[in-house]
Structures are given as structure tokens and as C-alpha cells.
Amino acid sequence: MAVRGVDIKIQGLSHRYSPKSPLTFDQVDIDAQQGESLVIIGRSGCGKSTLLHIIAGLLHQTGGTVQLNGEHIKKPSPRWVMMFQAPHLFPWMTVTRNAGIGLHFANWPKKEKRERVIEALKLVSLEDYADKNVQDLSGGQQQRVALARSLVMEPELLLLDEPFSALDAFTRASLQKDVRSIAKRQGLNVLMVTHDIDEAVLMADRALVMAGAPGKIIHDLSIDIDDPRDRQDPAVQKVRSHLMQVFSDATHSKPEIVSSEFTKSDEKPASNIKAVAN
């Protein structure tokens, strides 16, 4: 699959659901390079899922801009696809038909569609289940079908709205590792929201802490740990402890936007304040 990443530039983004409702989030700025994986971590209600929906073109912002490779995002596109907490599959269809539904509606020729779907199913280790009905699969396997459905469109950006939150710990860990591996091999960007500290450390090149009401991005932590990542690895545990402290401080104190880098060789993260929120 010829998949490539995208340069993401979000400037001064704000949102409210109606003119009289309070701001959901305000003055959000995010930059990401091609192939970078970002995880936004925050408590429920900080606006992180709403932010993801705006980036996907599913909602309109109140102010600010979202650009992918310089293009202003105003509507959904197969170039940026989103996975939700539930897989939203067609239960009467097979794995193959579910994975290829986007190609079907795009009127792809049958032969090319079949080849693309087989390739996507191999990426998510479901080639042996191609002719199975999805309602006979486990929850984790159904999310893999949803992932294949996303990858078959050859996106530049994969948006993840806590798609593993309802899965058991073993299945969740397996999918976390596989999604990061696929994204790195394919060179595509990942932008994910979660409230799980471990998930952020295992999947992110950078972890962005979002907090406050209205929500703001108040900490930007670069995570430099070799792949594949294991939650029992001392380097992973070290970053986890640091991110947990940052997250706790952020949700109990006045917000500061902080940039820091945490590497395998550092005894302590090198941090410097980039800006202070008003």
C-alpha cells in the first residue's frame, strides 16, 4: 500500500456547541510532522474527542484553523479516517465485505477491491477470517476489521477515538502494539485521544496533555523509546511515572504549556516552558 503521512498544523482552534454554550476548548495549537504519532491525554469533558471530530471534518470549529499539508479541513475525506470506540460494522456481512465497504461505495473494480482488502486483512492478521461473518468474531477481532476498513482506503492520517477502551487488557495491548507498528511501516500519521497513561506511552511519539475548562493543550512530551515497546520495560515505566506526575499536576494546578523530551538515556526529562496560557 502506498500510504504516506501528512503535515498537521492546527492554530488557535476553539469550539462551542452553540452561541450560548461555554467553550469546549480554546486556543489549541498542534503541529506534527509526516509519520508522527500523537496521543492527546485528558480527563473526560476536556474536549479531546470533540477536537478529534473537528480534525476529521465531522464537526465545525468556532474559531481557528486545521490544515493537513496546507489544505484547510472542512469535511470528511478518505485521506483521513477515524476509528471510534465501537467498530460500527455491518453484522450480516463477512469480514471481507466489511473491510471493503469504502471501496465498494467508491465503485472500485471487483478484482482491485479484492486485492486491496486481502492486503489490509494481512496487515491486521485477519486473512484467515476473510469469509467469516463479523458477528461471530471477538471484540478485538471486530476492531481489527474496523482497522482494516480504515487502512484499505490508504489514508494519510489515522484518527483514533479510544477504540480499544472496551477491550480486555491482553487484546488491548496487542492492538496498541500492532497499530503503532503498522503506522510506522506505512509511514502514516496517528492522532489518538485517550485517558489511559499507559496507552499514551506505548503508542505516542509525543504525548499532549489536555486539561481545563475550556480545554487547552498544556504539556507536550516527546517520547523517545525504541520499538517494540513493552509496558514492563524500565524505560517505559520511567516515562509513565513522569507523564503520570505531569498529568496529575496539570489537572490540579493552573495550566502551563510545557515542552519536554524524555529519552532512554535521560535520568530526568529536560523541560522548558514554551508559553503560558492566559
Q: What is the CATH number of the domain that holds 39?
A: 3.40.50.300
Model pLDDT, residue 269? 38
Distance CA 6, CA 78 (A): 13
Write down the H helix ranges in the chain.
48-55, 95-99, 101-105, 110-123, 139-151, 169-186, 197-203, 234-252
Beta strands in 2-107 (DSSP E): 8-15, 25-32, 37-42, 63-68, 71-72, 80-83
In a domain, 3, yes or no: no
Peptide bond into 78 cis (omega under 30): no
Q: Is residue 165 part of a domain?
A: yes
- Contact between residue 146 and residue 88 where contact means Cβ atoms under 8 Å apart: yes
Kindly state whether residue 56 falls inside one of the protein's structural domains.
Answer: yes
- Summarize pLDDT for 104-140 with one digit per residue, the tens: 998 999 999 999 999 999 999 999 999 999 999 999 9
128, part of any domain? yes
Residue 253 confidence (pLDDT): 62
Domain that holds residue 96: 86-154
What angle in degrees, to the nearest 10, is found between the helix axes of 139-151 and 110-123? 130
Domains: count for the chain: 2
Q: What is the DSSP letter of 145?
A: H
* 240 in the same domain as 208: yes
Q: Are 59 and 183 in a shared domain?
A: yes
pLDDT at 227: 94
Q: 42 and 143 in one domain?
A: no
In this structure, the answer to whether residues 162 and 252 fall within a common structural domain is: yes
The predicted structure's pLDDT at residue 202:
96
Place of cell 487502512: 151
| 71 and 162 share one domain | yes
As a whole number of Å, the end-to-end CA separation of the chain is 45
Residues 52 and 94 in one domain: no
Residues of the chain with pLDDT under 70: 1-3, 253-278
Residues 175 and 225 in one domain: yes
Residue 158, strand partner residues: 81, 190
Based on the domain organization, do 261 and 129 belong to the same domain? no
246: in domain: yes
Query: Do residues 176 and 271 share a domain?
Result: yes
**pLDDT score recorded for residue 250:** 84
Instruction: Determine the pLDDT at residue 254.
Output: 57
Kindly state whether residues 113 and 135 are assigned to the same domain: yes
Write down the pLDDT at residue 143.
95
Q: Among residues 154, 177, 194, which one ends one of the domains? A: 154
Q: Choose the final residue of a domain: 95, 128, 154.
A: 154
Residues 126 and 169 in one domain: no
Evaluate whether residue 266 is within a structural domain.
Answer: yes
Pair (111, 163) in one structural domain: no
Residue type, 246: V
Q: Is residue 2 part of a domain?
A: no
pTM comes to: 0.87
Of 154, 173, 196, which residue sits at a domain end? 154
Task: Report whether 101 contacts 153 (CB < 8 A).
Answer: no
Residue 119 within any structural domain of the chain: yes
